[in-house]
Amino acid sequence: MPAYAVAILSETHLNDEIRAYLEQIDSTLQPFAGQFIIHGGPYFPLEGEPTADLIVVQFPDMDHASRWYASAAYQAIKPLRAANSVGAVFLVQGVPTDHRAMDILA
């Protein structure tokens, strides 16, 4: 089942450190089959106004996602993002393709 690395960043300082992070992150994802599926806007508001940038990286499963985040390659560049952005970063398990809303009540 897929898993996702999600960042909801309310503030990002676009500077040389963030540029270096962006230049290097793709190579940290490759060994773990990670791929960006959302990387910011543009947003088309339907209810309320977006107040943060949403970034979502898909992995084949939680094991791949966890190993990517813990990898030496990602840990080496993580401080570049952490020092220049404000927000939440987390891993979340996906749901099966047959998932229905009521399943959370079971």
Give CA–CA dist 90/92, Å, rounded.
Answer: 7
Q: Which residue has the tokens 């540029």?
A: 19
Domain spanning 3-39+52-97 has what CATH number? 3.30.70.100
Give CA–CA dist 51/83, Å, rounded.
Answer: 20
Write the pLDDT tens digit of every residue in 60-91.
Answer: 999 999 999 999 999 999 999 999 999 999 99
Q: H/E element holding 93?
A: strand 85-93
Q: Is the pTM of this model over 0.95?
A: no
Distance spanning both ends of the chain, measured CA to CA: 19
Q: How many other C-beta atoms lie within 10 A of the C-beta of residue 84?
A: 18
Length of the chain: 106
Write the pLDDT tens digit of every residue in 2-44.
Answer: 999 999 999 999 999 999 999 999 999 999 999 999 999 899 9
The answer to whether the CB of 32 falls within 8 A of the CB of 67 is: yes
Domain boundaries, the chain: 3-39+52-97
